[in-house]
Amino acid sequence: MPRKSASERNEPSSKEDRQRILEVLSSNQGFAEPENWIEYARQHDFKMVRAEKLLRCPECGGERSVTLGQYVYFSTLSKLQECRNCGLVYSDSKIDAEEVRTHFEGSYKEENYFRVWRQRIVEQIARLADRYSPHGGRVLDIGGATGYQMAVVQRMRPDLDITISDLSGDSCAAAASAYGFKTIRGRMTELAELKAHFDVIVMSDVIYYEQDLAGIWRMLPKIVAAGGSVIIRAPNTLTLITLAHYVSRLFRSRKASEMSDRIPFFTPDHFFVFSRRFLTTRLRALGFHHVIALPSELLTPDWKSRYLHSFWFRLAKAVSALTFGRLVLTPSILYVATRPPVGEEPTVSAEQ
């Protein structure tokens, strides 16, 4: 039996398909030469996505930056920029908020991920929350998903008043149903409108997703109580990203660089990459007078990685201790920033 033509199968002709893909590439951000990306876009099923191209640093408004590579995410070609003025590393593509919300509605919500892969991380953060929380204190977990992290804290400290905040309505409902936690659904920047103060705020692997960085800086001082602390976990990969960029410039052809769709050691759904100096300096500027950086436990997806990662973490702790906290070797860092108590003026101390 002879094969049916594209028109007989009600499929678009290759010409129509090519035109459709060119329209998507021309409408989406970053593709200066759409013709070169047609086959790539076809293979990856590109769609129309609204995105804003940033021409200035979202932190300081500076226009001078260094490009650390390019990557494709949400059918958009984005560049990772390092501001020469303030040192912030950011994506130059601000994806439509609704697209991002839909993406995170179903991401990282499986409790097994927290029970197995993140168990050591969860326990380490729980110990920090215990250490920095006063008796009967109030704790807020921003991006707390279904509440497993705070359930571990609750078992250690049943006296604490715990609230979960998350972008996902399903996650908030699960946290309330399973553990009885208070919940707040919405973006973290919307928490600035709260009238409540918290003794400990946990922001584990969430700060680099929020595209409104200025909103985070406005929010934190408003809801962290005097003498309270914020615990932030963030990647410690900027040195590797920068090194990989300069190595690729030496060995990769111009054409290969122009068609690059990923950046080594960078996760494409992260909007920011924070250096330790940048984040520490910014937190102190917000009035957190004491900021420490600690090696973070690692993900452990299987039993083999548990032994290797346990050894790596212990080595990193020893190196951190020997260098008085100046050198952290783990892929992520835990920052603990504390506000001064009532009546005590914040002081600026040397870089940790």
- This prediction has a pTM of 0.88
Q: Per the structure block, which two tokens stand in for 336? A: 């603990």
How many domains does the chain divide into?
A: 2
Report the pLDDT value the prediction gives residue 116, as an integer from 0 to 100.
Answer: 79
Does residue 164 lie in a domain region? yes
Same domain flag for 127 and 266: no
Residue 1 lies in a domain: no
**40 in the same domain as 118:** no
Q: Are residues 197 and 300 in the same domain?
A: yes
Question: 250, 273, 296: which is the final residue of a domain?
Answer: 273
Q: Do 259 and 296 have their domain in common?
A: no
Same domain, 61 and 129: no
* 144 inside domain: yes
Token pair of 195 as six digits: 């009238």
pLDDT for res 98:
77
Q: Report if residue 347 sits inside a domain.
A: no
Confidence (pLDDT) at 110: 65
User: For residue 311, what is the domain's CATH number?
Assistant: 3.40.50.150
| Residues 297, 170 within the same domain | yes
Range of the domain at 170: 111-228+278-338
| 125/194 same-domain check | yes
Q: Cβ distance 204 to 164 under 8 Å? A: no
51-to-145, 168, 273 alpha-carbon distances in Å: 26, 22, 19
Residue 80: its pLDDT value, please? 97
Give DSSP secondary structure letters for 5-48.
PTTTTTPPPHHHHHHHHHHHHHHSSS-SSGGGGHHHHHHTT---
Residue 86 resides in a domain: yes
177 lies in the same domain as 126: yes
Over the range 314-347, which residues count as b (16 or more CB within 10 Å of their CB) and which as e? eebbeebeeeeeeebbbbbbbbbbbbeeeeeeee
- In the chain, which residues have pLDDT < 50? 1-12, 347-352
pLDDT digits (tens, 9 = 90+) for 84-123: 999 999 999 998 877 777 766 655 556 777 777 899 999 9
Based on the domain organization, do 122 and 49 belong to the same domain? no
Based on the domain organization, do 120 and 202 belong to the same domain?
Answer: yes
Q: Are residues 304 and 258 in the same domain?
A: no
Do residues 192 and 74 both lie within one domain? Answer: no
Cβ count near 37 (within 10 Å): 24
pLDDT, residue 106, reads: 57
Residue 324 is assigned to a structural domain of this protein: yes
Please report whether residue 351 resides in a domain.
no
- The answer to whether residues 298 and 331 touch, using CB atoms and an 8 Å cutoff, is yes
